[in-house]
Structure 1
Amino acid sequence: MYETLEILRDGPIATIWMNRPDVHNAFNEALIAELTAACRQLDADDSVRVVVLAGRGKSFSAGADLNWMRRAADASVEANLADARKLAGMLRALAELTKPTIARVQGAALGGGMGLASACDICVASTAASFATSEVKFGIIPSAISPYVLRAIGARQAGRYFQTAERISAAEAKALGLAHEVVAPEELDAKVAGIVAALMQGGPKSQAAAKDLIRAVADQPVSDAVVEDTARRIAELRATPEAKEGLAAFLDKRQAAWVPNE
């Protein structure tokens, strides 16, 4: 049972709903702890294939709760460091889930909310969505979210938005590489469902390996070590039961065992 989240299951699909609509799903200590726990719980559940992150109400997430920030302003450096580590741990737990993750962004995703959207593998946004790294307006920096936002939009674009805190429209987010898809609000769930259906065609262990491959290869020069690592990864996977089943299913012109029956 969660105080700030609602987790809904539809077979192998788990949707984590941030459920603080009255404060635009802003982070506080409880949401940070619960989202961390939910990510770890779902990652350990072999029956879960895809995780969707969504927000109840008008906004996806407005980032840090202002009351939480006010308490932090009066706290010691040590207390602030402990809080910052918990926030960073939550984002990492989401980003390093071995299952595919989709951010369903229907409205504002500001500060830490933009960090959540960036930490997910795939971001689907409504035309009503907007994004911002708004931290400098409060005299702070988008520190914990920076690895994921930089991965999504690159250092050059971050150099602008980390300093200006400008609002980024859904269309601009797609152009920047943050949002993969932008659709009308009434089409948001259908688009998410279509991507989920595509993900369900892939082998779960190969998808986890693909995520790990990206982390290993991204921003690395093509060195002997990288070439050897990529060769070793595919060689090891080819011998797995999942790979053998995938090849057999293709040759037999049938669905692989991991694809759900419709």
Structure 2
Amino acid sequence: MYETLDIEINAAVATVWMNRPAVHNAFNADFIRELTAACKALDADASVRVIVLAGRGKSFSAGGDLNWMRETAVADAATNQDDARRLAAMLRTLSEVSKPTIARVHGAALGGGMGLVSACDIGIASTAASFATSEVRLGLIPAAISPYVIRAIGQRQAYRYFQTAERISAERAVQLGLVHEVVAPEHLDTKVQEIVVALLLGGPMAQSAAKDLIRGVAERGVDDAVLEDTAQRIATLRSQPEAKEGMSAFLDRRDPEWVALNAKADS
């Protein structure tokens, strides 16, 4: 189905491999279109519970393909803006997938590649990984990725790295909040699998609601409107079959139905 991606589905986990190793999984128009479509398709697939984003070859992703960037630079204003909008839409689609997303970062994640990591819910990196918002060295700015990178590392750190384009080590990335864990390369897949196992124990509706909750209350003060919003969210969720099943399973000291379904799919 895809020329720039390779998608593997194992039980309830979909691994989306960026598959342009010759150009370090750099973005072009085809890649942007296909990753957008893949995210939408996997989000709509009820059998998929977790999405892992990974890269073939040496790098996770080097950001924008230079040939594609040259083409956009000489295109007319309308074409240039349309390309920029499609890139922004791809990142938003990834960020707003209702299911848990994990970035598996084994090598360089530069420019837009760092944006992909930031747009995922969870980042797990190898000690061999590195990051940068390198755009200013090309006379550009990290515009499309900025909402996600700033969300991950904060404004203060963004002021530094958006302007210096310094390489960020994996160890520094975890300090900044860009990734959650850093492990030796040989332990990367084991750590990703640990996170996957933990995610599969949660209710899928609850996880989707948890993501929406974060978007709804982040950066807001604690006022009457926020209190009412959160009260309505939990009251609504409690009335759903998933929550009733989860609470019954806890009281009955058994696994809830979704855990049993995961185990059946994995066997």
Q: Same fold (TM over 0.5)?
A: yes
Output the CA distance in 1 between the equivalents of 2:71 and 2:240. Answer: 51
Q: Please show how residues 43-122 of structure 1 align to structure 2 within 5 Å.
A: 43-122=43-122
Output the CA distance in 2 between the equivalents of 1:14 and 1:55. Answer: 14
SS at structure 2 position matched to 1:142: coil
Q: 1:78 offset after TM fit, Å?
A: 1.2
Amino acid at match of 2:141: I
Output the CA distance in 1 between the equivalents of 2:217 and 2:188. Answer: 32
Amino acid at match of 2:106: Q
SS at structure 1 position matched to 2:258: coil
TM-score (norm 2): 0.97
Provide the alpha-carbon RMSD of the alignment. 0.6
Output the CA distance in 2 between the equivalents of 1:119 and 1:134. Answer: 17
Q: Percent identity at matched positions?
A: 70
1:227 matched residue in structure 2: 227
SS at structure 2 position matched to 1:258: helix
2:246 matched residue in structure 1: 246
Q: Which runs of 5+ in 2 are unaligned?
A: none
State the aligned residue count: 262
Output the CA distance in 1 between the equivalents of 2:85 and 2:72. Answer: 13
SS at structure 2 position matched to 1:73: helix
The structure 1 segments of at least 4 consecutive aligned residues displaced by more than 6 Å after TM superposition are none
Output the CA distance in 1 between the equivalents of 2:79 and 2:131. Answer: 29
1:203 matched residue in structure 2: 203
Q: 1:157 offset after TM fit, Å?
A: 0.1
Amino acid at match of 1:126: S
Q: Which runs of 5+ in 1 are unaligned?
A: none
Output the CA distance in 1 between the equivalents of 2:172 and 2:101. Answer: 22
Output the CA distance in 1 between the equivalents of 2:238 and 2:74. Answer: 55
SS at structure 2 position matched to 1:59: coil
* Cα displacement string for residues 132-156 of structure 1 (whole angstroms, at most 9, x for unaligned residues): 0000011110000000000000000
1:142 matched residue in structure 2: 142
SS at structure 1 position matched to 2:192: helix
Output the CA distance in 1 between the equivalents of 2:210 and 2:37. Answer: 24
